[in-house]
Amino acid sequence: MVRQSLFPVCAMLLAAACAAGGMEPAPAMIYPPTAYSQRVATNDVTIYWSCAREATQVRFEGVVQNARGGAVKFVEVELAGADSHDRYVSDATTALRDIVLQTNQIAPFVIQLRPTGGESRFDLFYRYQVDSAIGGDERPRFRALDVCSPAQHRFKR
């Protein structure tokens, strides 16, 4: 008798939690991500993004995809603003929420950078770790230039 009365109560609590936003739906990731028109890739990862310059900030958002057969770990993404003399005058960094990306897994990121006003371009720096039998686990740093330019790093969908 107790089991029969607990089932409707549990079902109502679960429904209430979902209705109140207690559970987030899993994001639907489609390859290639159609929300982004720019990308850069290495042998291990592909990064898709969009960059929006607003009055007080630059919003850089996208996804990182593990394009390799093994695990990619500890992905960090940095947006840096360079002045006309190629000196970096602003930057903001984030790490992916997913510590390990399995094969073909896609993980989102968002960077909000407050520019100083002297930036002539924004560059992307990113690093990650892959398991390697030779040379240990390295985290090389990669760079893509002028990532907020509408003409750079475009790809056909």
pLDDT tens digits, residue range 59-117?
Answer: 999 999 998 878 999 999 999 999 999 999 999 999 999 999 999 999 999 999 999 99
* Domains parsed from the chain with CATH numbers: 27-144 (2.60.40.1230)
b/e for 57-75, b at 16 or more Cβ within 10 A?
A: ebebbbbbbbbbeebbbeb
Burial of 1 (0-12, 13-18, 19+ CB in 10 A): exposed
Residue 73 pLDDT: 92
CA distance 45 to 39: 10
pLDDT in tens, 52-73: 998 899 999 999 999 887 899 9
Instruction: Report which residue type is found at 68.
Output: R
pLDDT in tens, 9-47: 444 444 444 444 333 434 445 566 778 989 999 999 999
**Cβ pair 98, 138 in contact under 8 A:** no
Residue 13 pLDDT: 43
CA distance 47 to 101: 13
Where residue 134 falls among pLDDT bands split at 50, 70, 90? low
